[in-house]
Amino acid sequence: MAYTEEDLKEELKGKEYEFGFTTDIESDKISVGLTEDTIRLISEKKNEPDWLLSYRLKAFNVWQAMNEPEWAHVHYNKPDFQAISYYAAPKQKKVLESLDEVDPELRKTMEKLGISLEEQKRLSGVAVDFVMDSVSVATSFKEKLGELGIIFCSFGEAVQNHPDLIKKYMGSVVPMTDNFYAALNSAVFTDGSFCYIPKGVRCPMELSTYFRINESGTGQFERTLVVADKGSYCSYLEGCTAPQRDENQLHAAVVELIALDDAEIKYSTVQNWYPGDDKGVGGVFNFVTKRGLCERNAKISWTQVETGSAVTWKYPSCILKGDNSIGEFYSVAVTNNFQQADTGTKMLHIGKNTRSTIISKGISAGKSQNSYRGLVKIGKYAQNARNFSQCDSLLMSDRCGAHTFPYIECDNPSAKVEHEATTSKIGEDQIFYCLQRGIDEEKAIGLIVNGYAKEVLNKLPMEFAVEAQKLLEISLEGSVG
């Protein structure tokens, strides 16, 4: 009997989330609920200085007075913040002398994720920090980076070893009062990554953090802080996965980038949190605040490939404070089944001759909802500011939605702001053309979608472009109809 498209759909519907395994590691997890005591406990477990504890408590107060934002084009049952455990750490020996001492179960996890640290060390020269649940468990390449004066470590270590830098920059771009989730994160964050590139140093390798939620009933609240001192350069990549669970897990991170005069930061994300099943059950709520500050002649590029999460709420932004600074945002956001994404960027032009580019490619399949939301704001003193925005949407089915919410605020008449938007549906004729050349539907969709997203994928570091392409294909398998 002929194999019909229906059969294919059926087969692919249950296509398993590849990273849906859990790791059986003894874990140090505190009981659920959030009070001042919880925060004190986290701070104590992390052996933190008093100033950080007071920062947390202040943030907690701010958070309690705030309401969860409702303006995004997403619908979900709000998380019960008292039903979450705010700290879970894989139990292991206190201090690791080398990667060989990492718990074997944990190493297996890393291997399943495709981040065999040894391999990466040898082949691609990528330095990896691995954050599981709440704490950072391994950072490779630390010594080699140290020779250049580059600090790349877990946030917790940075608090202990580089308190001045943390004190100076933490919350300087995303203040605790910024929004509901940023405030929550500031109160309960458990770990994350810290990176400092000294003056004039060009970081010779990709810096990478892998985040993974493992424990059930936990949230992940990590902070990333990247400081590129004057004239320095670094490229940073974060990847995320989570096990398959029926419950909704909360991920509320804060990422702050600081590019001082003449510095450049490239920040790439491949986000693959568990998206929930084909009925919309489970999946990660990804409520993340990411923002970068550009001083004079500095440049920050955000590149994101978003394929996971049940609900995404995320707007990596640039504050173009210094004259001649440049902000870029390249995004591919894929939603399938019942996923919802409300994502985009803010480009705040403050300095003169500041330039920004926004390329957003939304791909919606199944019954998903995919929104681009972006703000381009040209301040009063931003003479000759330039912005170019392009927002494309690709529809894979007739039950999904694509929405674009571009906001432009311009207070300087010399500014030039361009916005282009397109919406297209993946063509049956395109697919048939591929089929007729011997390329099956799955590969055809992969080709077409990767072609559509090419402008963004080209911005990813080589090592990760291939992974991102594969992810796009996996996320969209069997989704035409």
- Interaction site with other proteins (CB under 8 A): 2-3, 5, 427-430, 432-441, 443, 447-448, 450-455
Q: In the bound complex, what is the minimum distance in angstroms from residue 271's beta carbon to other proteins?
A: 22
- Rank residues 281 and 466 by Cβ distance to other proteins and give the closer one: 466
Residue with the two structure tokens 């001492």 = 101
Q: In the bound complex, what is the minimum distance in angstroms from residue 315's beta carbon to other proteins?
A: 25
- Please give the structure tokens belonging to residue 440: 């099956």
| Angle, CA of 126, 129 and 133, to the nearest 5° | 145
| Rounded CA separation 292/279 (Å) | 36
| Rounded CA separation 157/81 (Å) | 27
- Please give the structure tokens belonging to residue 124: 């691609």
Q: In the bound complex, what is the minimum distance in angstroms from residue 452's beta carbon to other proteins?
A: 6
- Rank residues 42 and 449 by Cβ distance to other proteins and give the closer one: 449
Q: In the bound complex, what is the minimum distance in angstroms from residue 106's beta carbon to other proteins?
A: 36
> H or E segment at 10?
helix 5-13
CB atoms within 10 A of CB 400: 21
Q: In the bound complex, what is the minimum distance in angstroms from residue 358's beta carbon to other proteins?
A: 18
Bridge partners (DSSP) listed for residue 314: 288, 343
- Please give the structure tokens belonging to residue 370: 């995919």
Residue 272 near residue 19 (C-beta atoms within 8 A): yes
- Rank residues 375 and 439 by Cβ distance to other proteins and give the closer one: 439
Q: In the bound complex, what is the minimum distance in angstroms from residue 477's beta carbon to other proteins?
A: 16
- Rank residues 176 and 396 by Cβ distance to other proteins and give the closer one: 396
Which residue, among 273, 214, 287, has the nearest Cα to 240 in the 3D structure?
273
- Rank residues 415 and 453 by Cβ distance to other proteins and give the closer one: 453
- Rank residues 187 and 453 by Cβ distance to other proteins and give the closer one: 453
Q: In the bound complex, what is the minimum distance in angstroms from residue 435's beta carbon to other proteins?
A: 4
Distances (CA, A) of 132 to 28, 116, 242: 12, 15, 10
- Rank residues 104 and 438 by Cβ distance to other proteins and give the closer one: 438
- Rank residues 407 and 433 by Cβ distance to other proteins and give the closer one: 433
Residue with the two structure tokens 């090419």 = 454
3 state DSSP class of 445: helix
DSSP state, residue 202: B
| Angle, CA of 105, 215 and 27, to the nearest 5° | 60
Q: In the bound complex, what is the minimum distance in angstroms from residue 350's beta carbon to other proteins?
A: 35
Residue 348 near residue 320 (C-beta atoms within 8 A): yes
Q: In the bound complex, what is the minimum distance in angstroms from residue 267's beta carbon to other proteins?
A: 24
- Rank residues 2 and 65 by Cβ distance to other proteins and give the closer one: 2
Q: In the bound complex, what is the minimum distance in angstroms from residue 2's beta carbon to other proteins?
A: 6
- Rank residues 22 and 357 by Cβ distance to other proteins and give the closer one: 357
Q: In the bound complex, what is the minimum distance in angstroms from residue 479's beta carbon to other proteins?
A: 17
Return all residues near 154 (Cβ < 8 A) that are at least 6 apart.
129, 131, 135, 136, 139, 191, 192, 193, 194
Which residue, among 122, 159, 121, 117, has the nearest Cα to 137 in the 3D structure?
117
Phi-psi label, residue 262: left if phi above 0, alpha if psi -120 to 50, beta otherwise: left
Which residue, among 301, 306, 320, 316, has the nearest Cα to 368 in the 3D structure?
306
- Rank residues 22 and 397 by Cβ distance to other proteins and give the closer one: 397
| Rounded CA separation 85/79 (Å) | 12
